[in-house]
Amino acid sequence: MPLPQPSGTTDTVELRIPSKAEWVAVARLAVAAVASRLDFSIEDIEDVKLAVAEACTNCIQHAVGSDQIEIVCERAPGGLTVRVRDNGRGTRPEAIQSRRVEETRVGGLGVFLIRSLMDTVEYDVHPDCGTNLVMTKKVSS
């Protein structure tokens, strides 16, 4: 039997990982498990999984002075909202810019993939309290 929840709350799952490459797999698998509890198709679950991994990878590679990454999954009407936040001192602007498809340079693909795979993507960069990425994925009808 589900535990009673106070009115106005949503289903939320929070995870905090060290800002290190070896922990990204834990984040993506945890978020995939959350997505699988909702009505997402296997393809959509894979999309969310990759987008979260790319967001974490961006934090590890580009956030200045970050040692933790917080991932918060929230059941949203018709889908899932995922927030990925580091505790650094901002991100270099090029790190959150999407590359053009025709470019063959190494790098810049992560943000492009996030924007391609998720329905909405918003970055909020704070020099004092890290970078906050909020992205949503709707359940395909």
Q: Return residues touching another protein (CB under 8 A).
A: 21-22, 24-25, 28, 43, 46, 49-50, 53-54, 57, 60-61, 101-102, 104-107, 109-110, 112-113, 116-117
Cβ proximity to another protein: between 34 and 111 the closer is 111
Strand partners, 131: 125
Please give the single-letter amino acid code of residue 128: D
Rg (CA), the chain: 15
Q: Which is nearer to another protein, 68 or 75 (CB)?
A: 68
38-47 core/surface letters (b: 16 or more CB in 10 A; e: else): bebeeebbeb
Q: Minimum Å distance from CB 59 to another protein?
A: 10
In this complex, which beta carbon is closest to another protein, that of residue 98 or of residue 132? 98
Sign of CA dihedral 85, 87, 90, 92: negative
Least Å distance between CB 105 and another protein? Answer: 8
